């Protein structure tokens, strides 16, 4: 393992959203969206974060960028404490930490040209002059596979896949170290998804980018990531090298997720684990292991004792009392 | 003579009038569904798969839409010629449909029970009490716990997966002969998707309903369908037994789709081979192979001279390509990777 310090260190990250009720709009409960999550992102790697809706993967990504104010925990980016940094430091940090959103229709301002849209970040960070900014926009458009003449056009003139390229260009133009990709391909058609995935890979190789890749589609995450973390109800339940995670999952939830993916091969026969029930509410997560009400392996201990997130094999972390029995 | 299929669609044409011109959403589409079988229709946005399904139910909003030609023969009758009252007797009763979004397809101000009993009273002429009893049975059948109590709940009190179960219960309430499921699991999480697909499969086996499942997900059809048809730019471009289509695809578009998806059952670290370019604009579609501008096997003077007809390429397998392309055919055209 490299001894180099990771680009991002997340420790015990917590984000609770208050639920207000009654006439006085008092806080009556907390949605425990992220409830104690720790992981590192190494320089130049892609860390995939998967989980079903409401598991806290998007909130984790946003809290790292301080787009959400975390409730507790720490995030260290390149040695800087992100969560406690003053506003000025944050502004500078944002140049290094960018985000690409899921919905390429909602994330671009329809009233300004895409050239203006891409140059916005450069203006905010006072990079270059008006003339050099135009050159930078032109160059970045080429990098994401769009014609430089697209600069003068408006978002509605582009398809979903092209808009996602524009979203990537907006992030890329600032020359960031980290890009948080929040479901970047899930709104796109199958044949377009792979174009964008290949583009993200090529840009990573060219610019040495680090990605936090958040998605619910396991096949996509498996394809693009070096390591993958699996979230369930605000907790990280497993984290491992992608190959290891898919070949030998050490958490029953991961195993169920993998077995639930529809495989585009009618001859592919495998044992399917169909989980019973729905994901419980993050307001009142089950005691003990949060997965126990849906887990077919659950024992008495799972109902009472919350399993620790520990290393079960080199680089393979799992939060299950019976991690070694998951086969 | 073999028994006639339950549903047979012949030369269906659907158009939408827009400011920019006429969008030809469905062009000369013909297919059939046998009793009790599952047909998968695969395609990307704009391929015409949902519009085809909506036309079978005569649910195309007119204007701007219009069924411009063709026949939809259901059990010997042309649905397109039926009066609206007769059509209403078919819809929900003999042909049922479930939609992608269970959040918007249920009425938020009516209880779940009322929404199910409505069609039972209308189509099956059940009394209110009988209808309620049947509704409880239906909810139990689709796996809703304590069904009798949940009957008086409103849709917002159900989760997404539960709502889709309710939709399926409603769809099956009148024992339809055909169930059309339009992207039934796209809005759901993967573990819930697995539950719903399993449920549709089980009910189909128990009730013998024919199913048309419409999806963009090749994995879903691979696990569900007996036969698959692939749509592109409003046309069927390949059709055959599911095992055939996945093992020996013969249309370059299908081949491209299969190569472009990341697959867990595949070897590691494979670079994806995207299909370059974008689907065509359905306004002013030229009379050429609609896939030819993106095709790796494009032959000038042939692919751009006509719309290739669906032709037999193997037993029970048809493809709309002029050439005998297979997974093994080496790529002849320029660089296939645009990104």
> Cα–Cα–Cα angle for A299, A305, A307, nearest 5°?
90
- B149: Cβ–Cβ under 8 A, 6 or more apart, which residues? none
Q: For A272, which of B192, B194, B279 is closest by C-beta distance? A: B194
A120: in domain = no
A147: in domain = no
A164: in domain = no
Of A156-165, B139-148, B246-255, highest mean pLDDT? B246-255
Q: Which range (A16-20, A225-229, B261-265) has the least confidence?
A: B261-265
CA atoms within 13 Å, Cβ hemisphere of B42: 30
Answer yes or no: are the C-beta atoms of A314 and A61 closer than 8 Å: no
Which residues in chain A have Cβ-Cβ distances shorter than 8 Å to B271? 198, 201
Mean per-residue pLDDT, B273-288: 86
Say what the pLDDT of residue B267 is. Answer: 55
Q: Give alpha helix (H) positions in chain B.
A: 49-56, 84-90, 112-123, 128-141, 147-150, 160-172, 190-207, 218-224, 242-247, 252-260
A308: in domain = yes
Number of folded domains that form chain A: 1
A197: in domain = yes
A146: in domain = no
> Is there a contact between B271 and A198 if contact means CB atoms under 8 Å apart?
yes
Report how far residue A65's alpha carbon sits from residue A93's, in angstroms, rounded to the nearest whole number.
Answer: 9
CA–CA distances in Å: residue A143 to residues A83, A137, A139, B110, B338: 32, 10, 6, 53, 12
Which residues in chain A have Cβ-Cβ distances shorter than 8 Å to B48? none
| Threshold 0.90, pTM exceeds | no
Answer yes or no: are the C-beta atoms of B279 and A162 closer than 8 Å: no
Q: Which residues pair with B41 in a beta bridge?
A: B214, B229
CA distance to partner chain B, nearest, from residue A87 (Å):
37
- pLDDT category at B339 given cuts 50, 70, 90 is very low
- The reply to whether ipTM tops 0.90 is no
Predicted confidence (pLDDT) at residue A139 exceeds the cutoff of 60: yes
Q: For B194, which of A218, A260, A264 is closest by C-beta distance? A: A260
Q: Which range (A111-115, A125-129, B69-73, B265-269) has the least confidence?
A: B265-269
Which residues in chain B have Cβ-Cβ distances shorter than 8 Å to A272? 194, 198
- Closest C-alpha to B182, from B59, B15, B29: B59
pLDDT tens per residue across span A271-325: 778 888 778 888 888 999 999 999 999 999 999 999 999 999 999 999 999 998 8
SS3 A204: helix
Which tokens sit at A140?
């970045």
Say what the pLDDT of residue B265 is. Answer: 61
CA distance to partner chain B, nearest, from residue A88 (Å):
37
Q: For B257, which of A159, A190, A275 is closest by C-beta distance? A: A190
Predicted confidence (pLDDT) at residue B65 exceeds the cutoff of 80: yes
CA–CA distances in Å: residue A40 to residues A6, A227, A304: 6, 10, 29
Report how far residue B189's alpha carbon sits from residue A32's, in angstroms, rounded to the nearest whole number.
Answer: 20
> Is there a contact between A195 and B268 if contact means CB atoms under 8 Å apart?
no
Top-confidence residue, A6 or B62: A6
Percent of chain B with pLDDT over 70: 95
pLDDT tens per residue across span B315-335: 999 999 999 999 888 876 544
> Is there a contact between B189 and A218 if contact means CB atoms under 8 Å apart?
no
Which tokens sit at B338?
């645009």
> Is there a contact between B189 and A193 if contact means CB atoms under 8 Å apart?
no
Mean pLDDT (chain B, rounded): 88
A237: in domain = yes
Q: How many contacts, defined by CB atoms under 8 Å, are there between A and B?
A: 132
Mean pLDDT (chain A, rounded): 91
CA–CA distances in Å: residue B321 to residues A215, B281, B324: 36, 20, 7
Q: Which range (A162-171, A218-227, B323-332) has the least confidence?
A: B323-332
A319: in domain = yes
Answer yes or no: are the C-beta atoms of A193 and A22 closer than 8 Å: no
Say what the pLDDT of residue B266 is. Answer: 60
Which residues in chain B have Cβ-Cβ distances shorter than 8 Å to A146? none
Answer yes or no: are the C-beta atoms of B37 and B227 closer than 8 Å: yes
Predicted confidence (pLDDT) at residue A32 exceeds the cutoff of 50: yes
- Give the rounded distance of the alpha carbon of B10 from its chain centre: 17
Instruction: Report the CATH number that the domain containing residue A270 is assigned in CATH.
Output: 3.40.50.300
- Closest C-alpha to A7, from A37, A41, A39, A38: A41
- For residue A181, the enclosing domain spans 8-96+176-325
- B167: Cβ–Cβ under 8 A, 6 or more apart, which residues? B98, B99, B102, B105, B106, B184
Report how far residue B237's alpha carbon sits from residue B235's, in angstroms, rounded to the nearest whole number.
Answer: 6
């Amino acid at each position: 393992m490299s001894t180099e310090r990771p680009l991002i260190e997340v420790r015990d990250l917590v984000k609770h959203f208050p639920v207000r009720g009654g006439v006085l709009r008092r806080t009556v409960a907390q949605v425990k969206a992220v409830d104690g999550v720790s992981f590192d992102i190494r320089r130049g790697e892609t860390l995939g974060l998967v989980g079903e809706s409401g598991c806290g993967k998007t909130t984790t990504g946003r809290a790292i960028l301080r787009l959400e104010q975390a409730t507790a925990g720490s995030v260290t980016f390149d040695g800087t404490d992100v969560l406690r940094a003053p506003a000025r430091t944050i502004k500078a940090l944002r140049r290094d930490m960018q985000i690409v959103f899921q919905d390429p229709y909602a994330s671009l301002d329809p009233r300004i040209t895409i050239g203006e849209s891409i140059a916005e970040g450069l203006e905010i960070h006072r990079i270059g002059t008006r003339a050099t900014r135009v050159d930078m926009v032109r160059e970045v458009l080429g990098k994401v596979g769009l014609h430089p003449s697209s600069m003068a056009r408006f978002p509605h003139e582009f398809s979903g896949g092209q808009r996602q390229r524009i979203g990537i260009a907006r992030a890329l133009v600032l020359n960031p170290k980290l890009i948080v990709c929040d479901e970047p391909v899930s709104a796109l058609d199958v044949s377009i998804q792979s174009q964008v995935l290949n583009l993200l890979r090529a840009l990573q190789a060219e610019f040495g980018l680090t990605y936090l890749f958040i998605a619910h589609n396991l096949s996509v995450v498996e394809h693009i990531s070096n390591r993958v973390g699996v979230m369930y109800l605000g907790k990280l339940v497993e984290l491992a090298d992608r190959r290891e995670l898919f070949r030998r999952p050490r958490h029953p939830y991961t195993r169920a997720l993998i077995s639930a993916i529809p495989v585009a091969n009618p001859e592919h026969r495998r044992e399917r684990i169909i989980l019973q029930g729905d994901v419980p509410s993050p307001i009142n997560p089950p005691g003990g292991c949060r997965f126990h009400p849906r887990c077919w392996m659950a024992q008495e201990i799972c109902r009472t004792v919350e399993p620790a997130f520990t290393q079960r094999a080199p680089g393979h972390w799992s939060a299950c009392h019976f991690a070694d029995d998951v086969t | 003579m073999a028994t006639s299929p339950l549903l047979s669609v012949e030369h269906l044409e659907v158009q939408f009038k827009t400011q920019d011109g006429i969008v030809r959403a469905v062009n000369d589409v013909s297919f059939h569904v046998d009793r009790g079988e599952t047909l998968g229709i695969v395609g990307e946005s704009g391929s015409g798969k949902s519009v085809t399904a909506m036309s079978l139910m005569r649910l195309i909003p007119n204007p701007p839409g219009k069924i411009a030609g063709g026949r939809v023969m259901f059990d010997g009758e042309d649905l397109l010629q039926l009066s609206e009252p007769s059509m209403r007797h078919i819809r929900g009763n003999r042909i049922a449909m479930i939609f992608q979004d269970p959040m918007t397809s249920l009425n938020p101000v009516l209880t779940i029970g009322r929404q199910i009993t409505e069609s039972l009273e209308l189509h099956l002429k059940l009394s209110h009490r009988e209808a309620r009893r049947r509704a409880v049975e239906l909810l139990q059948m689709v796996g809703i716990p304590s069904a009798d109590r949940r009957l008086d709940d409103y849709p917002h009190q159900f989760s997404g997966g539960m709502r889709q179960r309710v939709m399926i219960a409603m769809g099956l309430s009148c024992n339809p002969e055909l169930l059309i499921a339009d992207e039934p699991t796209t809005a759901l999480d993967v573990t819930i998707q697995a539950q719903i697909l399993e449920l549709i499969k089980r009910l189909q086996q128990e009730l013998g309903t024919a199913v048309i499942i419409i999806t963009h997900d090749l994995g879903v059809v691979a696990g569900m369908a007996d036969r698959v048809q692939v749509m592109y730019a409003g046309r069927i471009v390949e059709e055959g037994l599911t095992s055939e289509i996945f093992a020996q695809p013969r249309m370059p578009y299908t081949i491209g789709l299969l190569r472009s998806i990341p697959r867990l059952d595949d070897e590691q670290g494979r670079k994806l081979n995207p299909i370059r370019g974008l689907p065509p604009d359905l306004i002013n579609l030229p009379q050429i192979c609609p896939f030819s501008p993106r095709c790796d096997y494009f032959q000038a003077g042939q692919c751009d001279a006509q719309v290739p007809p669906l032709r037999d390429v193997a037993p029970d397998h048809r493809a709309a390509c002029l050439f005998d392309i297979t997974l093994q055919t080496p790529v002849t055209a320029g660089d296939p990777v645009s990104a």
